[in-house]
Amino acid sequence: MDEHDIENHPDLMNPDWQRHAEKEAWTGLRRERRKARWRRRVVIGAAVAVVAAAAGVYVWQRGTRAEEVAKPGSAPAHATTAPAPTDLPAYASVDLTRPFDHTPAQNWPEGIAGLTVPAPAKVGSFSAKQVGDAQEQVKHAIVVAHFDRNTIEGHQPDAYVGLFAPDARAEIQANPPAYVVYLADGTHLLPVPPRMTGTMTVRPGEAGELVLHVTYVVAYAFDPGNRGVEGPADLEPFVRVEADYVVRGGTAWEPGGRGLWIDEFWAYYTSISCEDRKAERLGPAFHDPTFTGPSLTPEPGQFDPAKPVPEKGNCLH
């Protein structure tokens, strides 16, 4: 029996649901993988917090290249200098052309431009150029995971899986939605690019390893269609990620182990459909059949990557 004494709840008796979320609690799946020349640890958390949201297919610009979709370096349209709230309003007017107004994402940049990356510098045995190349690898992986239409709309993981070292791919291919965003079937995003905020730091790892730690939040805005919405919380899921990407190189590693890996990975979801999350999809909260309105436990780390990742969600059905 866990500390919340809910192991017999009907929702949690479903083995698929058990793999992803624990009602009113943070869950993590800690998995150890050991091989002859490497050791890795992946922690996948899926704590879900439901408020209200809406649905949508995202039409960014034409083309399928991840770099095109994310439009690196672009500032938000209709940018405002007004201070952003620190929590997601449940009840407020929503301008669907500017859905992030009056939300924590109000002043965040669009796409990968919201990730602050340090200037490349020598780290351990890695030269400044190698560090810069590794940073670009990780940035590209995040773009593909969160902004690429083939990934999030088409549910095609190949572009993401192919970024990793050959020996790392089977683990990711076995469960891509643990690492990338798949939008729920039948949902559509508004024609407004997702917003992002976060940072990357770099440190040396074991021999021949460079560890790139990322902590970030991505906000999506779903199209409510004909549904009435009572506030931004009805249509805007936030995805909070804390992860260690590792670049391995040199003679310390076999050829198949050289390249990009994921070491630790946590994901936390706010303002989502709990039913969609059971199916490893990202959907707005109002997409739940039993949607009755927002109910969100305040957790500062949901929207601020400088704060600890939240530990409790509130899927309340």
What are the tens digits of pLDDT across the range 89-144? 878 888 999 999 999 999 999 999 999 999 999 999 999 999 999 999 999 999 99
pLDDT at 205 over 80: yes
Q: How far apart are CA 94 and CA 227, in angstroms?
A: 13
Mean pLDDT of the chain: 77
Q: Is position 6 within any domain?
A: no
**pLDDT score, position 75:** 54
Domain count for the chain, please give it.
1
Residue-level pLDDT at 314: 53
Q: What is the mean pLDDT of residues 230-248?
A: 92
Cβ-Cβ contacts under 8 Å for 278 (sequence gap 6 or more): 14, 16, 17, 20, 21
* pLDDT beyond 90 at 4: no
Tens of pLDDT, residue by residue over 13-56, are 444 433 333 322 222 222 222 222 222 233 333 333 333 332 22
Within-domain flag for 53: yes
Task: Name the pLDDT band for 207 (thresholds 50, 70, 90).
Answer: confident
Q: Is residue 216 part of a domain?
A: yes
- Is 309 within the bounds of a domain? no
Judged by average pLDDT, the poorest of 10-14, 31-35, 307-311 is 31-35
> Strand 195-204 vs strand 28-35: parallel, antiparallel, or unpaired?
unpaired
pLDDT greater at residue 27 or residue 187: 187
245 — pLDDT class (breaks 50, 70, 90): very high
Range of the domain at 193: 15-75+86-302
Range list of β-strands (E), the chain: 28-35, 38-49, 115-116, 195-204, 209-219, 238-248, 259-270
Residue 222, in any domain of the structure: yes
pLDDT of residue 259: 96
Q: What is the mean pLDDT of residues 192-202?
A: 98
Mean pLDDT in residue range 300-312: 86
Q: How confident is the model at residue 250 (pLDDT cuts 50, 70, 90)?
A: confident
Evaluate if residue 63 carries a pLDDT over 50: no
At residue 254, the 3 state secondary structure works out as: coil
User: Is 166 contained in some domain?
Assistant: yes
Give the pLDDT score at 169: 97
